[in-house]
């Protein structure tokens, strides 16, 4: 099989049973009924990739922003085969009560992931949930426990695991041993993505139910930075750039190198440059995830230049025989002391999916990866197996990043016990594993799912 055929197979979500022979991974049956909770940017983008690859019927949509909801309903009606406009809801609980669903896609802001995913699982649906799975560790533990108790398939949209050129990099470079012994990895993000400015708080717009949008998070006054799409600027709704961007790169390295839990996590940083912004997430942070024999070091900086301008959000995996550079656009293997370099680029499929070229706000370089991720999920809904980005992988990666933020806040290294699900010998840290919920919302308990 040549590289082009390999990429096509990976992007199509096909398994290779023999050299050059493809086996479809899920059977086309009657259309599965799907609902999307959270109709913002990434929710719509991911859902439209599902419509591209499977005979599904998007039956319902939910959002607390009525304008966003109406727009999404029109877009979906124009893209799905039936042409039907999905039913719309402003409360996910009402949706789950009234609809009989096969698949629920949870694409809310992070602070809503846990409650929506848990209720969807209890309603009998398999779930595709955006990353990171949670804002605190106990939420993640409850999500995993619920998925296992109710025997539902849950895929986390950490789609680097389904990115064709990264699958190629893992197989051609790492699995073939071209790096030799691997003993260090660096992961980073140098995008200037932190919210700037300090606009005044205002009354929320009429189309937005701000109280419901806030949900279990602390109530902050409405600010135009937060909605739409800017909520990651506030720790009340997520875990900053570590929870947003480090999650992807750490998970990619874990997947490529077959790593489980880090044993110790340390971190330092803060708001060191942009002190005038209303944003309360760090603009500079370093975190070290100590895996056995392999430290993985994260750095983000939302100011200044990137050390390697071609890889501003990336992973660098170092071996005794060379280095693998990898990001969402490409990879390069550079052997130590000369020799054959290997390279690969993101797969675009405009010939097969021409709508990718014109779709508003689509990250075109990841469209094939999201399609592959959905295909893997769909296969597992048929076989009842574990998807490539199973909820447990989401729990490990999200928890590792949450612990990095905790280590930064506490100013000390944290040792994690994955069996007990707690920080070793640190009562103060363990009290931070579950954040307080705003009433009347109740924090999920992994022991009471």
What local confidence, expressed as pLDDT, does residue 400 receive? 98
Residue 29 belongs to domain with CATH number: 3.40.50.720
What burial class does residue 18 get, using C-beta atoms within 10 Å of its C-beta: 0-12 exposed, 13-18 middle, 19+ buried? exposed
- Angle subtended at Cα 129 by Cα 77 and Cα 121, rounded to the nearest 5 degrees: 95
CA 121 and chain centroid, separation: 18
Nearest Cα to Cα of residue 90 among 51, 46, 60: 60
Q: Which two tokens stand for residue 387?
A: 């998807």
Q: Domain for residue 225, yes or no?
A: no
The partner residues of 310 in beta bridges, in order of sequence, read none
> 25 lies in a domain?
yes
User: Could you tell me how far CA 27 lies from the centroid of its own chain?
Assistant: 26
Phi and psi at residue 227, in whole multiples of 5°? Answer: -140, 130
The pLDDT of residue 23 is 38
- The answer to whether residue 342 is domain-embedded is no
Neighbours of 87 (CB within 10 A): 15
What is the C-alpha separation between 316 and 298, in angstroms, rounded?
10
- The whole-number pLDDT of residue 30 equals 85
CB 112 within 8 A of CB 88: no
Task: Please tell me the total count of domains within the chain.
Answer: 1
| Domain assignment of residue 114, yes or no | yes
State the pLDDT at residue 9. 53
Return the pLDDT at 123. 98
Q: Is 391 contained in some domain? A: no
Neighbouring-strand partners of residue 327: none
Q: Which helix (H) or strand (E) holds 33?
A: strand 33-37
d(CA 401, CA 232): 15
Half-sphere exposure for 274 (CA within 13 Å, toward CB): 20
Q: Take residue 148 and report the two structure tokens written for it.
A: 């296992």
Q: Which two tokens stand for residue 141?
A: 């533990």
| Beta strand segments in 219-272, E | 264-270
- Count other C-beta atoms under 10 Å from residue 207's C-beta: 13
Structure tokens at 269: 């940083």
- Residue spans of beta strands (DSSP E) within 72-193: 87-89, 103-106, 126-129, 154-156, 182-189
**Cα–Cα distance for residue pair 298/239, rounded to 1 Å:** 15
Phi-psi region of 180 (alpha: psi -120 to 50; beta: other; left: phi over 0): left
Q: What is d(CA 34, CA 57) in angstroms, rounded to the nearest whole number?
A: 6
The answer as to whether 49 is a domain residue is: yes
Q: How many residues does the chain have?
A: 449
Cβ neighbours of 410 (radius 10 Å): 15
Radius of gyration of the chain (CA): 21
Burial letters for 419-432: b for 16+ Cβ neighbours within 10 Å, e otherwise?
eebbbeebeebbeb
pLDDT at 322: 98
| Residues of the chain below pLDDT 50 | 1-4, 6, 11-27
Report how far residue 252's alpha carbon sits from residue 162's, in angstroms, rounded to the nearest whole number.
Answer: 10
CA–CA dist 430, 230 (Å, integer)? 29
pLDDT tens figures, 29-71: 689 999 999 999 999 999 999 999 999 999 999 999 999 999 9
Q: Which domain holds residue 78?
A: 3-160
| Cα–Cα dist 276/272, whole Å | 11
Q: Enumerate the H helices of 124-238 as residue ranges.
A: 137-149, 164-169, 210-214
CA distance 231 to 216: 14
Task: Specify the pLDDT at position 186.
Answer: 98
Q: What share of the chain is helix, strand, coil (3-state, %, to 5)?
A: 35, 20, 45
Q: What is the DSSP letter of 206?
A: T
Of all helices (H) and strands (E), which one includes residue 8? helix 3-12
* Three-state secondary structure readout of 171-182: HHHHCCCCCCCE
């Amino acid at each position: 099989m040549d590289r082009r055929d390999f990429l096509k197979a990976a992007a199509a979500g096909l398994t290779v049973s023999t050299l050059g022979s493809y086996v479809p991974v899920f059977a086309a049956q009657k259309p599965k009924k799907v609902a999307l909770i959270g109709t913002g940017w990434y929710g719509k983008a991911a859902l439209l990739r599902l419509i591209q690859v499977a005979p599904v019927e998007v039956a319902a949509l939910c959002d607390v922003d009525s304008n966003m909801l109406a727009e999404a309903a029109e877009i979906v009606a124009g893209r799905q085969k039936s042409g039907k406009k999905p039913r719309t809801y402003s409360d996910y609980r009402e949706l789950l009560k009234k609809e009989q669903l096969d698949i629920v896609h949870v694409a809310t802001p992070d602070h809503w992931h846990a409650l929506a995913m848990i209720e969807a699982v209890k309603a009998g649906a398999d779930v595709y949930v955006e990353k990171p799975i949670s804002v605190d560790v106990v939420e993640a533990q409850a999500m995993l426990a619920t998925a296992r108790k109710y025997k539902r398939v849950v895929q986390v949209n950490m789609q680097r695991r389904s990115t064709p050129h990264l699958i190629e990099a893992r197989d051609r470079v790492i699995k073939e041993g071209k790096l030799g012994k691997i003993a260090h990895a660096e992961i980073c993000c140098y995008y200037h993505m932190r919210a700037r400015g300090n606009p005044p708080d205002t009354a929320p717009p009429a189309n937005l139910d701000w109280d419901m949008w806030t949900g279990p998070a602390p109530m902050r006054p409405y600010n135009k930075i937060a909605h739409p799409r800017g909520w990651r600027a506030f720790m009340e709704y997520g875990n900053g750039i570590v929870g947003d961007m480090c999650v992807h790169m750490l998970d990619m390295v874990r997947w490529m190198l077959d790593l489980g839990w880090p044993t110790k996590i340390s971190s330092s940083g803060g708001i060191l440059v942009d002190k005038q912004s209303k944003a309360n997430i760090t603009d500079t942070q370093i975190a070290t995830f100590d895996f056995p024999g392999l430290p993985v070091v994260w750095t983000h900086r939302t100011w200044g230049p990137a050390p390697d301008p071609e890889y501003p959000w990336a992973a660098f995996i170092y071996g005794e025989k060379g280095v693998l550079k990898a990001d969402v656009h490409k990879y390069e293997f550079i052997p130590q002391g000369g020799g054959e370099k290997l390279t690969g680029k993101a797969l675009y499929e405009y010939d097969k999916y021409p709508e990718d070229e014109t779709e508003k706000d689509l990250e075109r370089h990841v469209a094939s990866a999201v399609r592959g991720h959905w295909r893997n999920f769909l296969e597992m809904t048929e076989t009842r197996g574990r998807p490539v980005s199973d909820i447990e992988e989401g729990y490990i990666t999200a928890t590792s990043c949450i612990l990095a933020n905790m280590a930064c806040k506490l100013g000390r290294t944290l040792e994690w016990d994955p069996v007990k699900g707690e920080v070793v010998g640190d009562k103060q840290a363990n009290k931070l594993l579950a954040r307080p919920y705003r009433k009347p919302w109740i924090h999920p308990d992994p022991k009471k799912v």
